[in-house]
Amino acid sequence: MEQKGWRLSRSKRVTLCSPCFVLFDSPRRRYPPKRFVTHFRKKGAPREAAVKSLEILEKFDFFRGGDNSLRNAVVQNMTHVTLAPGTYTLHEGDPCNAIAFVGQGRIRVFKIGETGREITLYNVQEGESCFLSVMALLSSRPYPASALVEAPVEAVILPPNVFPGLL
């Protein structure tokens, strides 16, 4: 069984082997270590998407510095998405039921004023997450603005059941 490894950071390495992915917590071991962070296989998810998802998550401090149980929970619940420009991720008043961690691209968050003009609040770019969606999710309130993809986005989506471990 041939194995290929991708270095995600100084301390983490992903090793792909058939038929699953293993995220090890040591970058220099050649053989599967006795202790590993997680062992997973997403049904129907291509290997490249899983590796890309892990590369995106490595850009965020909560994942890089998280303990093994947190990293396990995140990896077990993550979903990799690719969004084309012009796609609305949320409209004002929508319920927020997931948080996107952007790996590349740009999402513009805006409100529509009384005159019908769009007022840009901020942009969510590589290595960022939308502050308003986090607040809406944690407070169980509707999303207070709209979010539009302006540049092709690759992101990792996490559902709300993961967030108690992040706090």
Same domain, 49 and 110: no
Q: Is the model's pLDDT at 108 over the cut of 80?
A: yes
Same domain, 24 and 94: no
Domain tally for the chain? 2
Same domain, 23 and 48: yes
Determine the pLDDT at residue 72: 82
Same domain, 91 and 132: yes
Q: What residues pair up with 53 in beta bridges, in sequence order?
A: none
Digit-coded pLDDT (tens) for 122-149 = 999 999 999 999 899 888 899 999 999 9
Digit-coded pLDDT (tens) for 43-80 = 455 677 778 888 898 888 888 887 888 888 888 888 88
Q: CATH number, domain at 132?
A: 2.60.120.10
Q: Is the model's pLDDT at 33 over the cut of 50?
A: no
Same domain, 67 and 45: yes
List the structure tokens of 8.
């995600």
Q: Which residue has the higher pLDDT, 13 or 82?
A: 82
Same domain, 72 and 103: no
How far is it, in rounded angstroms, from Cα 118 to Cα 150? 14
* Domain-terminating residue out of 36, 62, 77: 77
Same domain, 73 and 89: no
* Domain-terminating residue out of 35, 54, 77: 77
Question: Distance between alpha carbon 97 and the CA centroid of its chain, in Å?
Answer: 14
Helical (H) or strand (E) element with 155? strand 146-158
Its domain, for residue 143, covers 80-166
Q: Could you tell me where the beta strands, DSSP code E, fall in 4-135?
A: 4-7, 13-17, 20-24, 36-40, 79-83, 88-90, 99-112, 118-125
* Mean pLDDT value of segment 30-51: 50
Determine the pLDDT at residue 95: 92
How far is it, in rounded angstroms, from Cα 164 to Cα 167? 5
